[in-house]
């Protein structure tokens, strides 16, 4: 397990509405003074979406948009070039608004298993259908992430970079629920040790830096992620059940940081900040954990990305995360 560094009290997940990179960077850095993140703007189109953005990071593997989704090809085409261009634009904006910043800074990429479930091979089936292709994809992603993290480090030299791997399909991969191209069958479940090993290898790309795995799907495999050595787990708090209690308690006691998604990701009426984190306090009491540990062990976030929200709600939701985190710190019991 990597050392658990000091995270900020609140941050965003990744995606925001709109298409203006500078406005998104201003919102991220202005709202989260102690833990900004590199925004993603999928409304710009293919290549700005989470799969296309990460496909643009791959080394010696290239993807293009087909009617069915993103498919691997032989050479970089306009879709790859567009994804890389938008990422440079986002990094330029982030660099502009983080001059002199020192502290944690989060960047996001799709993890190897969600990427393998979403990217197609040349025959139209998911990369997930071919174990060798999965290994090649993970190796390409690892090299791409290594280069990306180095680039962010050069642009924001005072940052302690936190790498978030987005894995919303992880549980489906583990349970054999990813559908084939025909839609009539599902791909067989991937062995848990293979999944764990790939995640461990990806986490190692960041050296001693913190790696967080995010999933806004039900039944996040906390124990597997802890064994894979990730530093933190990001999840939709509303999807937890008491079945998760033991795994969460063990994770916290083992030093795993929790990114609790307590603020809805789409437009809705927001409760008062204390009400938003009431469930976190209740969980803590149920697990018998020290209230004094709460603010150190939990970062408050939206439940998922905010791409589907209105710009006005997205700004309110992010600011609400900051106030809810302050409430948690001031009144842990």
Condensed to tens digits (0 to 9), the pLDDT of residues 102-139 reads 999 999 999 999 999 999 999 999 999 999 999 999 99
Confidence of residue 311 (pLDDT cuts 50, 70, 90): very high
Per-residue DSSP letter, 120? B
- Considering the chain, what percentage of its residues have pLDDT values greater than 90? 92
The b/e string for 302-333 (b: 16+ C-beta within 10 A; e otherwise) is bbbbbbebeeebbbebbbbbbbbbbbbeeebe
User: Is pLDDT above 80 for 41?
Assistant: yes
Question: Burial, 278: exposed, middle or buried (Cβ in 10 Å; 0-12, 13-18, 19+)?
Answer: middle
Structural domain boundaries of the chain? 21-330
pLDDT of residue 76: 85
| Average pLDDT, integer, range 137-153 | 98
Topology at the third CATH level for domain 21-330: TIM Barrel (3.20.20)
Cβ contact 324:33 at 8 Å: no
d(CA 58, CA 48): 15
Write down the pLDDT at residue 2.
Answer: 41
pLDDT at 172 over 80: yes
* Tokens (6 digits) for 273: 């900040």
Q: What confidence tens digit (pLDDT) does each residue in 263-277 have?
A: 999 999 998 999 999
What pTM, to 2 d.p., does this model score?
0.96
Q: Strand 232-236 to strand 103-110: parallel, antiparallel, or no bridges (unpaired)?
A: unpaired
């Amino acid at each position: 397990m990597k050392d658990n560094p000091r995270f900020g009290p609140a941050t965003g997940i990744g995606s925001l509405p709109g298409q203006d990179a500078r406005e998104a960077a201003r919102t991220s850095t202005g709202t989260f003074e102690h833990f900004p993140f590199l925004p993603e703007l999928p409304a710009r189109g293919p290549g700005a979406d989470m799969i296309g953005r990460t496909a643009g990071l791959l080394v010696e593997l290239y993807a293009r948009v087909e009617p069915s989704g993103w498919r691997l090809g032989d050479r970089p085409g306009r879709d790859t070039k567009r994804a890389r261009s938008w990422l440079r634009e986002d990094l330029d904006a982030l660099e502009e608004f983080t001059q002199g910043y020192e502290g944690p800074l989060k960047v996001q990429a799709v993890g190897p298993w969600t990427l393998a479930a979403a990217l197609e091979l040349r025959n139209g089936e998911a990369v997930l259908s071919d174990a060798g292709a999965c290994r090649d994809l993970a190796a390409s992603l690892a090299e791409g992430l290594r280069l990306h993290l180095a680039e962010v480090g050069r642009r924001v030299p005072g940052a302690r970079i936190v790498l978030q791997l987005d894995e919303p399909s992880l549980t489906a991969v583990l349970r054999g629920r990813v559908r084939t191209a025909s839609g009539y069958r599902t791909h067989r479940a991937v062995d848990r040790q293979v999944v764990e090993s790939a995640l461990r290898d990806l986490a190692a790309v960041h050296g001693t830096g913190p790696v967080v795995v995010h999933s806004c799907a039900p039944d996040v495999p906390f124990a597997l992620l802890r064994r894979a050595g990730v530093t933190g787990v990001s999840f939709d708090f509303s999807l937890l059940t008491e079945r998760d209690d033991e795994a969460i308690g063990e994770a916290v006691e083992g030093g795993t940081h929790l990114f609790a998604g307590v603020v809805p990701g789409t437009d809705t009426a927001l409760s008062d900040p204390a009400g938003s984190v009431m469930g976190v306090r209740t969980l803590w009491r149920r697990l018998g954990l020290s209230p004094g540990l709460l603010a150190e062990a939990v970062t408050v976030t939206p439940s998922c990305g905010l791409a589907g929200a209105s710009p006005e709600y997205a700004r309110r939701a992010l600011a609400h995360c900051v106030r809810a985190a302050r409430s948690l710190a001031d009144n842990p019991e």
